[in-house]
Every structure is written in structure tokens, then in C-alpha cells.
């Protein structure tokens, strides 16, 4: 990857100052000097198609064997990816996000309000990211939740060892037998089964749309609390009889919820770490509503747990 040209200063009043070199023709175009003769560099439709598909299919090939798969690109999944991407450039990390737009519930604070509240000590995560906030004593406020999410997303996506597959749903988990003395039917999680989300949503009215797979020794699930697309992995653990039942997310109590989510973030069955609001369904923790410190710090804890499993 070549980086974006630096040193240019695009200014609407002074477009003539920006010079652009046009591909192989090496013709210098001075933006804004003469809009009548302005033209983009040449293109053919097939070049655009190949530029996208070649890279996507190379990524599918490359990430078919990943070191870690993160399921769900909400605030917890993205925080996990950020910590791992920063610390371990040697690991190949795939993020699978069902939605077209990554970010989960973190584009707004609460209800439809813009500001995002984070209780201390989650301010350390914001400092690391470089997201500004107002200090209100025991908590801090980011002016726009979207500023947090877009900053986090831009950092995660710029790590060369992380690939986001969005509009892609995890439909199932890959398992291998891993019997223990107390449970001869125990399994370990060995990857994920994927499909385009739009295909996943049509299994009831279209037949024979088989999925794809990604092998990975470790899966980190952060699919949020129960809902149409939530708590995916832990619900599947119950239906495949690796967990007797879910505790079920409890009512809202900000005072207890956030500590519990961070503390309970862990490897739930071999090869599967669960974080963010998905873990509230396992142990029966309270929800916290619109305060996001636990999501960032659950991501930090999930990354730490991952390094314990994978080896420092």
C-alpha cells in the first residue's frame, strides 16, 4: 500500500496550488486553474471491478486461516481489535460484522442523543485513541459518540493485519471435539461459519445457500445483548449443548453493570472469548444503558485474555 501524498494543502480559495500527476500519462493537472478543461484521470469499468474484487478475494483467501476472528464490530469488538492490532502486528485478525455500517450501537450516546458518556477510568482508553472529551469529575463526555466510533474505526482499519468483512454474518461456529474428564462431549471453538448477511436473512424463503468458513484457533464474540442479531455465539453454545442455559441480561443498573461486564469478559468455552453486552446474557449481568466505559474496557480485557490463550 502506498500512502496518501503529504504536503498538499487543499484550500478552496487556492485550488490552483494543488498539483496532481495523472497515472502513466504523467500530465500535471492543476486543480481549479481551469475548470473548463478539467478532467479526471482515465478509467475503464472493468478496472474498477477488478480493483475491488481482486483485493476482496485475495483477502478471503488470506483470512480463511486467521489467528483471531472477532465477531461484531460494535464498541466492544472494535476496542478489542484496536488493542490487539496495536500490540500484535504479527497476528492475522478478521472482524466479521453483520451490518453494512460497523460501529453497532455506538454512533449515538443514548436514545437519539449525540454525546457519549464514559465513566472513569475508561478515559485512559480515550487518551490512547486521542479522542477529546469534557471532564465531569467521575465521568467524561465525548461531544459526539460518532467521533469516538469514527476515530476508533479509522485506527482499527488502518492496521495492515486487520481485515473487516462487513455485511457478513456469522451463522455458526466451527467446533472440534475436546473431551474433558467431566464432559466427554465438550468441544473447542475452531472458527466461524459465515454468509452474506442478506443471504443469512433469507434462509427461510430460499434453499441451498450454503455458507463459507474461516478457521481460527480463537474467536472473540462481541455481538451485543439478545435481539434479532444479538448474543449470537452464546445462544448457539446453548443450542449445541455446550452451556446449559443463559443467565439472561438483567434490568438496568449502571452502578453494578459496568464493573460486572468488564470482570466477566473471559474465555467461556475453549477457543471462545465473550465480551461486551453479549457476556451479560451468560452470567445474567445488569445492563448499563447509555454509558460506554465498560464496552471499551471489556475490549481491553478481551484482548488481554486473547493474548493469554494465544501466548504473549
Q: How far apart are the first and last CA of the chain?
A: 28
Smallest gap from Cβ 120 to ligand AHZ, in A, equals 16
Q: Using the rule CB under 6 A, which residue among 80, 149, 175, 223 binds ligand AHZ?
A: 223
Helices (H), the chain: 45-63, 75-87, 123-129, 145-158, 197-200, 232-239, 254-264, 278-283, 293-310
Q: Which of residues 55-74 bind ligand AHZ (CB under 6 A)?
A: 71-74
- Rule CB under 6 A: is residue 170 a binding residue for ligand AHZ? yes
Site string (76-115) toward ligand AHZ, x via CB under 6 A: xx------------------xxxx----xxx---------
Q: How far apart are CA 302 and CA 264, in angstroms?
A: 10
Q: Torsions phi, psi of 30, nearest 5?
A: -100, 110
Residue 160: how many other CB atoms lie within 10 Å: 8
Nearer to ligand AHZ, 15 or 201 (CB): 201
Examine residue 237 and tell whether it contacts ligand AHZ (CB under 6 A): no
Chain centre distance of CA 26: 39
Smaller CB distance to ligand AHZ: residue 161 or 200? Answer: 200
User: Closer to ligand AHZ at the Cβ: 196 or 229?
Assistant: 229
Q: Which residues pair with 19 in a beta bridge?
A: 30
Q: What is the CA radius of gyration of the chain?
A: 22
Task: Please list every residue from 20 through 49 that binds ligand AHZ, using CB under 6 A.
Answer: none
- In the list 224, 234, 265, 285, the residue contacting ligand AHZ (rule: CB under 6 A) is 224
**Site residues for ligand AHZ per CB under 6 A:** 71-77, 96-99, 104-106, 169-170, 222-225, 229-230, 232, 276-277, 287-289, 292, 295
Amino acid at each position: 500500500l502506498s500512502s496518501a501524498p503529504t504536503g498538499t494543502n487543499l484550500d478552496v480559495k487556492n485550488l490552483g496550488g494543488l498539483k496532481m500527476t495523472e497515472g502513466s500519462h504523467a500530465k500535471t493537472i492543476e486543480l481549479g486553474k481551469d475548470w473548463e478543461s478539467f478532467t479526471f484521470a482515465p478509467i475503464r469499468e472493468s478496472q474498477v471491478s477488478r480493483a475491488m474484487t481482486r483485493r476482496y478475494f485475495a483477502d478471503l483467501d488470506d483470512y480463511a486461516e486467521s489467528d483471531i476472528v472477532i465477531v461484531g464490530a460494535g464498541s466492544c469488538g472494535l476496542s478489542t481489535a484496536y488493542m490487539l492490532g496495536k500490540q500484535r502486528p504479527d497476528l492475522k485478525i478478521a472482524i466479521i460484522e453483520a451490518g453494512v455500517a460497523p460501529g453497532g450501537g455506538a454512533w449515538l450516546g443514548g436514545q437519539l442523543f449525540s454525546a457519549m458518556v464514559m465513566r472513569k477510568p475508561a478515559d485512559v482508553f480515550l487518551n490512547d485513541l486521542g479522542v477529546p472529551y469534557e471532564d465531569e469529575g467521575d465521568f467524561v463526555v465525548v461531544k459526539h459518540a460518532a467521533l469516538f466510533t469514527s476515530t476508533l474505526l479509522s485506527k482499527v482499519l488502518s492496521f495492515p493485519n486487520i481485515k473487516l468483512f462487513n455485511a457478513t454474518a456469522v451463522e455458526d461456529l466451527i467446533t472440534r471435539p475436546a473431551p474433558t474428564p467431566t464432559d466427554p462431549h465438550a468441544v473447542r471453538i475452531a472458527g466461524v461459519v459465515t454468509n452474506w448477511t442478506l443471504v443469512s436473512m433469507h434462509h427461510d424463503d430460499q434453499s441451498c445457500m450454503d455458507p463459507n468458513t474461516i478457521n481460527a484457533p480463537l474467536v472473540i464474540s462481541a455481538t451485543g445483548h439478545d435481539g434479532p442479531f444479538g448474543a449470537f455465539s452464546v445462544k448457539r453454545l446453548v443450542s449445541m449443548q455446550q452451556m446449559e442455559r443463559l443467565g439472561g441480561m438483567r434490568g438496568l443498573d449502571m452502578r453494578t453493570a459496568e464493573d460486572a461486564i468488564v470482570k466477566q469478559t473471559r474465555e467461556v468455552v475453549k477457543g471462545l472469548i465473550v465480551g461486551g453486552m453479549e457476556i451479560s446474557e451468560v452470567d445474567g449481568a445488569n445492563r448499563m444503558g447509555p454509558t460506554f466505559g465498560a464496552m471499551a474496557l471489556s475490549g481491553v480485557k478481551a484482548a488481554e485474555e486473547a493474548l493469554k490463550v494465544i501466548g504473549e
